[in-house]
Structure 1
Amino acid sequence: MSFKYPLSFPVFEGNEKKYSNKAIEAGHLATYGEFIPKFERKLAREMHSHQAVALNSGTSALHLAMVLLGIGPGDEVICQSFTFCASANPIVYLGAKPIFVDSEKDTWNMCPELLEDAILSRIDQGKKPKAIVTVHLFGMPAKMNEILEIAGKYQIPVLEDAAEAVGSKYFGKFCGAIGKMGVYSFNGNKIITTGGGGALISDDVYLIEKAKYLSTQAREDLPYYHHLEIGFNYKMNNLAAAIGLAQLEQLNAWVKKRRLINQRYRELLDGFPGITFQEEPEGSYSNYWLSTILIDPDTNGISNDKLRVIFLKNDIETRFLWKPLHLQPVFKDMPYYGGNVSECLFKNGLCLPSSVTLTLDDQKLVVSHIEKELIKTLG
């Protein structure tokens, strides 16, 4: 379904056509061609990471990261509950068990105190977690200093799911380049896109070289097909990399625009009863991939679903915040540590249109529907 005011729509205003035409003219459309290494090098430079490998999705990147850490059947991996299912699905692919942890109220990301509770509990039960998957939700950095301190105490590697946080920073470091490994998504609705794609980054050269090897079916460097390990068909294709390179050239401008859009929403909704925003703690710099609000029905008498339906009738796309994974039927038997923070965020939250093409007048229109409903409800 298309909307006049979409949630997050891709924009192609740079060298996308030029680079993709060059890839087509060269006949290099698959996993060979000049744009794959160019995209990988530029991504690594932009994120201040040593190396990157371009892959066909963020989920593939996270799965590959777990393979590199040796996660397998019977292992346990701690995962943020308040996130998309792709953060946890690769754990299950490998026969391991996700252990879910609730969020904290500041960033809506993994709560460090509950993380340590979960680690100690699993150790007491004879199962030290093999890894920690923390997410930078909607572009907002998680509390990485505290998380890394706890992870270091128990010598557990941290995988950063920065699928939504390309360009976000935490105390000057780019999200994705802080933990052991980081993953990005370049899906069609992300801040930069390759259509469908992702990447894995790390300062560990061995891990990235191993990832490149495994992502192309673990082919040995021989004049015939020879395989010593099971590999994956995860490599990004050259045409997608061509588009990604052009998008990456515009990343800084688009982060600024998304932050401007978020600031405008804050100004336009300032003083509206029962409407609050995801906050940006000191040291955090969010790309504000999506601008999100919480709606308190006890204060203003309206709900996130009521607003969603109103927006839908007016050709405006909105979306609930993520339904916590520990509440998903597919994960109902998995352990969970925490209270109801993520559940309350899901019940009260809404993502607003955040495309870089959004004008001030567009945002005023979006906000006008909230204002009309508040006037109707509160008088």
Structure 2
Amino acid sequence: MKFFLSAPHMSENELKYIQEVFKSNYIAPLGEFVNRFEQSIKDYTKSDYALALNSATAALHLALRVAGVKENDLVLASSFTFIASVAPIYYLKAKPIFIDCDETFNLDITLLKQAIYESEKKPKALILTHLYGNASKMDEILEICKENNIILIEDAAEALGSFYKGKALGTFGEFGVYSFNGNKIITTSGGGMLVGKDKQKIEKARFYSTQAREDCLHYEHLDYGYNYRLSNVLGAIGVAQMEVLEQRVLKKREIYKWYKEFLGDSFSFLDELENSRSNRWLSTALIDFKLNELFKEKKSICITQKDLPLHPKISKLIQDLKKEQIETRPLWKAMHAQAVFKGEKAYVNGNSELFFYKGICLPSSTTMSKDDVKEISYLILKSIRG
């Protein structure tokens, strides 16, 4: 049996709803199920407005554009993340400023303040990633953004079902983004959602997402747009997946608890922030690590490509588990260490490099049982002790 990092997990209603779509012949674009999917996200997250799109990357691109980000504007961004979180900055020819992470895997507050203070001009926006479903320190970040008139865009692609002080991640900033890629906590095979507080801006994003067509009988364009909308077929899958989201969150959290039970003597597992709930999208662990190892030094650099090493035990473990058809991977390699962003400014403290060196993502599919986790954990311990 092969264990994937986070395999799709369908419920009983996906095919039923897809059949309804086929009967109606509203295959694409748009339709009743896209509307229902948007409404289900609004109901669950208590968002004011929602826009279903073909990817979370598209959602971030639209958020930046309707936020008014233009060429050479400065956009602050979490560095410890996946490239899709920050690549849209380049789509608009803006300039990223990368911020390293703290003990939550998320953006370091001290570095954020330093980056703003030292910027040659005021940053326009902040893309804040809630990594692996873990909540960022929202109270402090909101205050900093408000004081400096910086637009907050939450990359909650991995964090649907996560909350901070009872409020859904993705709903604190002016915009929030969710992903429904094949490996996310719920999936439409591919897809994303943009949520926000400003009706006019969300409607502008909707306009751009359908090729910026003017309200005419013919195709009239005063501006350019994109083919970014979600199909009705995928909307139907999304409606069914939203019906089981809370079950998936509880199972992910249970899997994380099982790994801690079986591996806690040999690995470290980072805790949630107080008054938060992580969806534990992927169970992550750190080898040979204690929290007091976190770096205190703060520094600003113009980045160059960095070939970061992996802990020898992590490298061996990934290869050993691959032979057993068990999928694992390192934690994200930070954006400030990626060659594509060579020369961009970053504020770093070494934490993301430390987490990359000592971290691993473990199989976290919601179809797994406790016995599955126990078997995988046995093989993990065998590898690192061998």
State the TM-score bracket (shorter-chain normalisation): over 0.9
Cα distance per residue 1:107-158 (max 9 Å; x no partner)? 1100111101001110xx2x21110011000011111111111111111011
Match of 1:11 in 2: 9
Where does 1:192-271 land on structure 2 (aligned, <5 Å)?
192-271=186-265
Find the aligned partners of 1:165 and 1:302 in 2 and give their Cα distance: 30
Percentage identity across paired residues of the two chains: 47
1:118 aligns with 2:115: yes
Where does 1:1-379 land on structure 2 (aligned, <5 Å)?
4-105=2-103, 107-122=104-119, 125=120, 127-272=121-266, 275-296=267-288, 303-376=313-386
The residue matched to 1:282 in structure 2 has which SS?
Answer: coil
Find the aligned partners of 1:139 and 1:246 in 2 and give their Cα distance: 21
Find the aligned partners of 1:147 and 1:153 in 2 and give their Cα distance: 10
How much has 1:305 moved relative to structure 2? 1.2
The residue matched to 1:63 in structure 2 has which SS?
Answer: helix
Conserved 8 A contact 2:316-2:383: no
Find the aligned partners of 2:66 and 2:289 in 1 and give their Cα distance: 46
Cα distance per residue 1:157-211 (max 9 Å; x no partner)? 1100000001100111101111110001100000011111001001211121111
Find the aligned partners of 2:262 and 2:328 in 1 and give their Cα distance: 17
Count how many residue pairs are aligned between Structure 1 and Structure 2.
367
> Alpha carbons of 1:353 and 1:45: their partners in 2 closer, same or farther (altered >3 Å)?
same
The residue matched to 2:365 in structure 1 has which SS?
Answer: coil
TM-score normalized by structure 1? 0.94
How much has 1:218 moved relative to structure 2? 1.3
The residue matched to 1:303 in structure 2 has which SS?
Answer: helix
What runs of 5+ residues in structure 1 fail to find an aligned partner? none
For 2:273, give the aligned amino acid: P
The residue matched to 2:51 in structure 1 has which SS?
Answer: strand
Find the aligned partners of 2:385 and 2:58 in 1 and give their Cα distance: 47
What CA RMSD, in Å, does the superposition of the two structures yield over aligned residues? 1.5
Choose 364-373 or 245-254, whichever is displaced more. Answer: 364-373
Conserved 8 A contact 2:326-2:363: yes
Find the aligned partners of 1:21 and 1:370 in 2 and give their Cα distance: 43
What runs of 5+ residues in structure 2 fail to find an aligned partner? 294-310
Conserved 8 A contact 1:110-1:134: yes
TM-score normalized by structure 2? 0.93
